[in-house]
Chain A
Amino acid sequence: MSDRHVDQVADRVHTIVADIFDSLDRILGSVVACYRASGSFACADLAGVRPEIFACLSRAHDVVAGAGVIVAPGVLADRRRWLEWWQAPPEQDPIFLDVDLDPESLDFYDYTHAEWFAVPEHTRRRHIVGPYVDYGGTDTYMLTFTAPAEVNGRFLGVVGADVRAATFEALLLGVLAASPTTITLVNGEDRVVATNSPRLPAGSLLPQPAPHRLPLTGSPWSIVTTTGDRAISSL
């Protein structure tokens, strides 16, 4: 598969993903520093992480819709569960995301079972989830990038960044539109992340296993191509 359009899409995806994880690494460094500096790690200590979270949001303002730290249950001295999560609405200061952490509530945000939390906790590696419907949290079709935060083997939680599925698609629009053949970016479960085909919109599953597949390094995603034209005539 030596299509230069495919290479361009792969490069673009690689750059976007690498940038996001670079930002997360800085937040991660700040979390570890705050944890080490505090005697008993409490909710108020997380204020020390905010400058890096805000820096991530302003640096990648067009890409990242929200970022922060999600603390594993039992790590903070004064809260069982906690999200230090900030959203970046266009042209506005970051807004603290207030979710329902009451297990009795219908809207309870049960994040410990969420894939973006559970997978890095288990594998201790970076992870990308989505696109998925993030209900109870942001109520948006979302991609979530997370990395585990640990100190001396103790799992503290995850640092993460949200990217709207629509934003991610827009970032690839140029390289996708330039290709005369169908190029589809799929995640690990063969769900479409972005494509230039009208037949399989983002969020759908590939109906059958794809014969032509290029796995991407540094993410669980791959690029699938189908031979033949995209069958889109210009207006």
Chain B
Amino acid sequence: MLERVSQLPRAAVFAPLDDGSGRVEVVVRRLAEAIALGLIADGDQLPAELELANALKVSTVTLRAALAALRERGLVETRRGRGGGTFVLAPADPSTARLRRRLRELSTSELREIGDYRCAIAGTAARLAALRASADNVARLRQLVGRLDAATSVGERRRADGRFHIEVAAAAQSVRLTRAEIDIQSEVGELLWLPYGEAVDPRDVVRSHTRVIDAIEARDPHTARALTEEHLDKGTERLMEFHWRLVASE
């Protein structure tokens, strides 16, 4: 990755995991997030398996399973022989450094504002879409989620996701909500996908959006709104988490 942060985040990244359940998933998540954010840089060698397992307080079996999952996602590679070990393969996205800086500089109240505003716009859009969407609107929404599911880069995912939110507002038959959503997507869209990077399984987003579409199609405005707000709140929380992690890494 472009710039190395201090050694501090490394300590945070390799701090013991006290979560007793789904340990492989937790290890994968923490390492993948750290790689996506550039906290562990491209080409960095991870500590030896035993050492890393001890640091994270997980068994070597758990650690190996986690590393295998990371290898599958293309986030690390294992080289054999002398000088071998597990090395970070950070996605070479030059915009990440800029976005990281931007997320670091936003205050938590600004992040909250963004979240509040998104909930107001997208939540209402989802509610109204459930009352007003045509079969065509619903088909278009499913098509966009299909595109999100099939996307292979963060850029593609962000575009499909942005268009999904815009299309919900259009399905609500509201020009003003649609414009507001376009503004939101162009202002903070790329930021919203920063924590996802390679770190979060995009299938979670696909599942979440699919449930919203189901509620819209079922003409269930309250569920459509509640699911949308839940999804956005989770996203805001994630942004806050990353913001604090970036602050802590200085």
Contacts and interface: CB of A to CB of B under 8 A. Distances in A.
A107 B169 CA distance: 15
Contacts of A205: 131-132, 134
Interface in B153-182: 159, 162-163, 166, 169-170, 173-175, 178-179, 182
Contacts of B178: 133, 135, 139
A94 interface: no
A104 B169 CA distance: 21
Contacts of A113: 140
Given A133-B175, A140-B175, A115 B136 contact: yes
Nearest to B167: A135
Contacts of A148: none
B173 A203 contact: yes
B181 to A, nearest CB: 9
A141 B189 contact: no
Contacts of B175: 133, 135, 139-141
A127 to B, nearest CB: 13
Given A135-B166, A205-B131, A106 B185 contact: yes
Contacts of A204: 131-132, 173
B159 A106 contact: yes
B174 A189 contact: no
A189 B134 contact: yes
Contacts of A203: 132, 173
Interface residues of A, number: 17
Query: Which of A113, A115, A133, A191 gathers the greatest number of chain B CB atoms within 10 Å?
Result: A133
A189 B173 contact: no
Contact of A141 (B169, B173, B182): B173
A133 B131 contact: no
Contacts of B163: 106
Interface of B: 131-132, 134-136, 140, 159, 162-163, 166, 169-170, 173-175, 178-179, 182, 185-186, 189
19 contacts: A104-B159, A106-B159, A106-B162, A106-B186, A131-B173, A132-B173, A133-B169, A133-B170, A133-B178, A141-B173, A141-B175, A189-B134, A189-B135, A203-B173, A204-B131, A204-B132, A204-B173, A205-B131, A205-B132
Q: Nearest 9 pairs between A and B by C-beta?
A: A203-B173, A133-B170, A135-B178, A189-B134, A133-B178, A141-B175, A106-B162, A133-B175, A106-B159
